[in-house]
Amino acid sequence: MALVTSLDIHHIYSGKVRDLYEVDEEHLLMVASDRLSAFDVVMNEPIPQKGRVLTALTHYWVREFADSVPTSLVACDPAVIDEFVPGFLEERHWHGRAMLVRRAKMLPLECIVRGRLAGQAYDEYALKGTVHNMEVPRGLRLTDSFATPRFTPSTKAESGHDVNIDLATAEGIVGADVLNRAKDLCLDLFTRAAASMAEVGLVLADTKFELGFVNGELVVCDEVLTPDSSRIWPADEVRPGETPPSFDKQPFRDWLANQPWDRTPPPPPVPQEIVSVTSARYIAAYERVAGHPLSDWYGA
């Protein structure tokens, strides 16, 4: 369901979290809601401040990498957006959760980088001894580091779930040149972000990047290094073989795992205490990474 607005812009897409609006031939407005989803089903209860956190963190990382990483992001500042979307300054409930971006021809891959063995990668490794059907060393435990971060792409499914693929399959989809450019860009971003997070006691276990072409240039699009696209762990709580607490919707996942739900609509009602603790996790992720309170961000 699209976010309600009185702005004269055309709504073109609603995802599980974001709504996309057409601004002009060159620009789009991407608005992050507070929606929460699981198994492709959106819950009825929003997570307060979630959309602002996702937008603020994306802006933070884009600014950190501005010297060397091309991006589709133009602005998050409501005053700047208002120059492209007249009336935006009055749309106060969108402040801090909207990004003005350049239109991009999206790469048909999810560009995942993994520094630690976790999630689907661990499940596959435990079953077959591979990660995205690629060989990795034996004897690794859950949360163990790879010798170097691994670029592990997946398909972008129009419906259903993405499919993890190896590099040879990815090359068949986008070609060797584009794949190598995407791989180099994403590994560089991951390495620099992981080092930055380590300085504040965080572990970046893995993350997913979205890439696209703007005027022939490969750029970073959509959200960047957020709790929705990354596994971020407190370094002092990482134990080999155990799942660490995450700065994301992990409290919600833990609660949901104990619910008698068949993963189809309608979803179960989420208790207020789960909503509150999940919101607090998102806010803590931003404040720890950025080093200042979320109240300093647009839309407070």
Q: pLDDT tens digits for 219-253?
A: 999 999 999 999 999 999 999 999 998 888 888 98
Q: Are 75 and 63 in contact (CB under 8 A)?
A: no
What's the predicted TM-score (pTM) here? 0.94
DSSP state of 16: S
- As a whole number of Å, the end-to-end CA separation of the chain is 24
Q: Are 193 and 208 in contact (CB under 8 A)?
A: no
**What is the Cα–Cα distance from 238 to 233, expressed in whole angstroms?**
7
Q: Domains along the chain? A: 1-103 (3.30.200.20), 106-237 (3.30.470.20)
Tens digits of per-residue pLDDT, 93-111? 999 999 999 999 999 999 9
pLDDT value, residue 206? 97
- The continuous run of DSSP H or E covering 278 comes out as helix 272-290
pLDDT value, residue 160? 59
Tens digits of per-residue pLDDT, 260-283? 999 999 999 999 999 999 999 999
Phi-psi region of 253 (alpha: psi -120 to 50; beta: other; left: phi over 0): alpha
pLDDT value, residue 171? 98
Q: Are 121 and 154 in contact (CB under 8 A)?
A: no
> Where does the pLDDT of residue 4 fall: very low under 50, low under 70, confident under 90, or very high at 90 and above?
low
Q: Is the pLDDT at 159 greater than 90, yes or no?
A: no
Say if residue 239 is exposed, middle or buried (CB neighbours under 10 Å; 0-12, 13-18, 19+). exposed
Q: Are 205 and 143 in contact (CB under 8 A)?
A: yes
Average of pLDDT values for 164-190? 98
DSSP state of 161: -
